[in-house]
Structure 1
């Protein structure tokens, strides 16, 4: 699992030099949710607000996310992917999928089926797919 995590962190950096695994994960969450508040990110990932604040600031500086006023409550700012953020996320996702396909290309079908079943079982046991 440690090697798997190291590879995931390293692959995000290779795909885009400013995009850590945490940044990639946050961008993916924002895309999936259609935007959310920084406090929602902190709560979802059980992170300190200051940690999320630093990550959000870095993503804003990189032009990958932007803050918009919540139309229902103008006191609240909602984080959304910018067009550049959507493009980077899509690029990294495509690259990661290609890397997975390449690594698994020589595997026999029965091994792939077994591996997929094990991943599904592992993920189902966690409840929240974003928690480790």
Structure 2
């Protein structure tokens, strides 16, 4: 498995934008990024809704996506297709079924989640 250390990319806590769950948080994240001396060139967003807010606010601020800021989100919400946002889809139903079966059997197991990259215009 490849990780960030394999690419010699240093960890930068300024690139972590937590407490963001809704589209309106996209504006807050962009304002924070504008204050960073060396801003990130790409963001991996854990919510499609936040990614939607980011894309809309980037358009308002005339930030070119993906040239100035690439965005990849999670979830494949229908709005990501409408706004041409690159996203990762996770089989949540399968994951939920596996967790349920583990809970009732009281036996933990480790399984890789199936993830699919849906490439669109933001990465």
TM range (shorter): under 0.3
Identify, as 1 or 2, the structure richer in helix. 1
Report the TM-score when normalising by structure 2.
0.27
